[in-house]
Amino acid sequence: AETAETFRYESDISRLRTLVIHSLYSHKDVFLRELLSNANDALEKLRLTSLTERGVMSAGEPNVTISVDLDEGGETGKIIIRDTGIGMNKTELARNLGTIARSGTNEFLRKAEEGGGADGNLIGQFGLGFYSCFLVSPTAHVSSLPPATEANPNPEQYTFISSASGDTFEVVRDPRGNTLGRGTEIILNIDKDNMEFLSTSNLKALIDKHSTFSTTFPIYIRERKQVDNPDREPEDELEYEHVWTHVNDKAPIWMREPTEVPDEDYVDFYRAVSKDATADPLGWSHFKGDTASGVSYRALMYIPASLPKDFWNSIQSGANNVRLMVKRVFITDDLGVEYMPRWLSFLKVTVDADDLPLNVSRETLQNHRFLKQLQKILIRKAIDLFTRLAENKPDEYREVAKLYGNALRIGMMESDKFKVKLANLLRFESTRTNYTSLAEYVENRKEGQKQIYFMAGVGEKTEDLARSPFVEKLKARGYEILLLNLPSDEPMMGALNNYMGMKVQDVAKKGLLYGDEEEDAAEQRELAQQNIAFKPLIQWLERVFKGQVMDVILTNRLVTSPCTIVVEHHGWSANMARIMASHAG
Ligand code: ADP
Ligand code: MG
């Protein structure tokens, strides 16, 4: 017989495993959620593979089964979790469960060592879920059998064995042979300290809490039930039998009627899909409809509690968070920018369509009319959701404006059609207040004011912007000036151009109008007089700065600063020139 092959955990993994085990000590129950989520992933992978590889799906129902084997005395025992998913061959067992340092590893280590690991939510997010089995079991036995394919018609079952401590693990040909029809079996050894997990009713409650929403395949648990025997005499011993109970048999939340779903359920579902047990979504929209092409769909959209950590990457790559299901079966979460514009990639969306063909490849799907209509639906619903929040839940909306302000600005630049609606959603700091909309700005304008004034400086403090000489004169005259410091602010203002009939005006550029121009005319006359007096100085400055400035002029725009540099109306401001230079660099 083949001997076991011993592997050494990569040093990072070894460190991580220890860290996971220690930091999650008080959140042991996450192990079940993580193992079920892996089982569900494996079943989804199998389904996708079966679209291109014939015969892969043939054996057995795709499902997950959980059973408990009590030792004598009932205080210790085993939990056995099986799935009929894609499985792992010998190499994959070693690689996926033991040796590969995954992309998020370093970030996880940093966060966890800073103390963030203790809340039980980090591991799922960082692809370390498997190690949570060591929270309840000193050992893990993972046996796996991939499906037979044309390339590999006779797969063999292998077992991965590891203990919670120790730097090595083994992979061995399963001495029992191919006992699984297909898929993966995990055996956990539960000791007395963790005996609560040997109770099937406790396990069922945990599944209800964490997994009913996020698992799409059936989960069965083996339970001991009393036999209802009408012929039993009172003195006879009770009879028991084992039955498989379908645990997650409720309709998924997005399939229910929006009016019948309580808010807590929306929050729970969000927590399950975001793998963050304490986060509150900032808002959601649950809707259904029929497209012009006759496809009925239901969808659930969330504004996440925090900006996804890969948001700026996904703005570049076009990746998003839309999960497409057909009749409750997961199809893809890889739909691309044609279905969700980049600036909305932070939204978490589940779309379930009724009448799409189930067994089509992604390529065929992409040409389907429903998908062509999907993007429009999603943009419209997202903007409706933001608008509703801004009107009805100002506190939540304030957070949205803060977290997703850059995204909304980019959206405003990208979509002409929704330009005004998106402009309504923007919020700014100004010399008057630290939170205003454009509409509120316009409402508060000074008599005669014809422009919306702004001062921009990427990354600068708004207090510093407020002290700029450009702002001084306007402020002195009682005008409000928007203080903008996001990278997207200035290009967005350029694209907006005007709002409610008022032109937006960069106070550092030519074209500034005060609205009290009569007063100005008198000053102009006075300036003309002074011009004569200042002529020698102006001529001298022109000589000194020849080739560097276009013109030297006398101005009444400054209050306390002696001079300033102004940009031509169509030229780049110093600020924009800086953004461009930083990109070129
Ligand atoms: P993640 O699920 O985020 O990738 P995990 O630590 O939970 O991280 O799992 C690591 C990897 O092990 C998975 O990506 C998958 O390749 C593999 N794996 C884990 N459980 C199973 C399973 N039940 N069936 C098939 N592969 C699995
Ligand atoms: Mg996982």
Q: How many other β-carbons are positioned within 10 Å of the β-carbon of residue 152?
A: 11
State the pLDDT at residue 584: 44
ipTM of this predicted structure: 0.99
The answer to whether the CB of 86 is under 6 A from ligand 1 is yes
Q: How many other β-carbons are positioned within 10 Å of the β-carbon of residue 284?
A: 20
Q: Which two tokens stand for residue 373?
A: 């209509």
More confident residue, 575 or 134: 134
Ligand 2 center to 128 CA (angstroms): 6
More confident residue, 169 or 528: 169
Ligand 1 center to 280 CA (angstroms): 27
Nearest CA to ligand 1 atom 14: 96
State the pLDDT at residue 58: 64
Taking phi first (over 0 means left), then psi (-120 to 50 degrees means alpha), and beta for anything else, what does residue 354 get? alpha
238 to 245, 305, 536: CA distances (angstroms):
21, 52, 113
The answer to whether the CB of 128 is under 6 A from ligand 1 is yes
pLDDT class for 147, splitting at 50, 70, 90?
Answer: very high
Name residue 141's amino acid: H
Length of the chain as a residue count: 585
Ligand 1 site-directed mutation target among 10, 33, 38, 86, most atoms within 8 Å of CB: 38
More confident residue, 48 or 422: 422
Which of 158-162, 237-241, 285-289 shows the lowest per-residue confidence on average (mean pLDDT)?
237-241
- CB-CB contact of 158 with 143 (8 Å): yes
Kindly give, in sequence order, each residue whose CB lies less than 8 Å from that of residue 189, ignoring residues fewer than 6 positions away.
76, 78, 137, 138, 139
Pick out the residues of the known binding site: 34, 38, 83, 88, 96, 103-104, 125-130, 184, 362
β-pairing, 219-226 with 64-70? parallel
Ligand 1 site-directed mutation target among 130, 160, 185, most atoms within 8 Å of CB: 130
Phi/psi for 364 (5° steps) reads -65, -40
β-pairing, 139-145 with 183-190? antiparallel
Q: Per-residue pLDDT for 244 more than 90?
A: yes
Q: Which two tokens stand for residue 546?
A: 């020849």
Taking phi first (over 0 means left), then psi (-120 to 50 degrees means alpha), and beta for anything else, what does residue 170 get? beta
pTM over 0.95? The answer is no
The answer to whether the CB of 42 is under 6 A from ligand 1 is yes
Ligand 1 center to 92 CA (angstroms): 10
More confident residue, 114 or 438: 438
Helix (H) or strand (E) holding 475: helix 469-476
30-52 and 200-210 helices, crossing angle to 10°: 70
Please provide the distance, in angstroms rounded to a whole number, between the alpha carbons at the two ends of the chain: 61
**Mean pLDDT calculated for residue range 78-87:** 96
**Mean pLDDT calculated for residue range 93-119:** 66
Closest CA to 515 of 562, 549, 490, 479: 479
Instruction: For 295-314, give one letter per residue: b (16+ CB within 10 A) or e.
Output: bebbbbbbbbbeebeebeeb
Ligand 1 site-directed mutation target among 37, 41, 92, most atoms within 8 Å of CB: 41
Q: Which two tokens stand for residue 144?
A: 């796996």
Q: Which two tokens stand for residue 547?
A: 């080739």
Kindly give, in sequence order, each residue whose CB lies less than 8 Å from that of residue 25, ignoring residues fewer than 6 positions away.
135
The answer to whether the CB of 408 is under 6 A from ligand 1 is no
Q: Per-residue pLDDT for 102 more than 70?
A: no
The answer to whether the CB of 81 is under 6 A from ligand 1 is no
The answer to whether the CB of 97 is under 6 A from ligand 1 is yes
Ligand 1 center to 472 CA (angstroms): 60
Q: How many other β-carbons are positioned within 10 Å of the β-carbon of residue 6?
A: 11
46 to 43, 62, 148, 194, 215: CA distances (angstroms):
5, 9, 12, 33, 15
State the pLDDT at residue 530: 75
Give per-residue pLDDT as tens, 178-211.
999 899 999 999 999 999 999 999 999 888 877 7
**Mean pLDDT calculated for residue range 68-80:** 95
The answer to whether the CB of 490 is under 6 A from ligand 1 is no
- CB-CB contact of 561 with 469 (8 Å): yes
Ligand 1 center to 356 CA (angstroms): 29
State the pLDDT at residue 496: 94
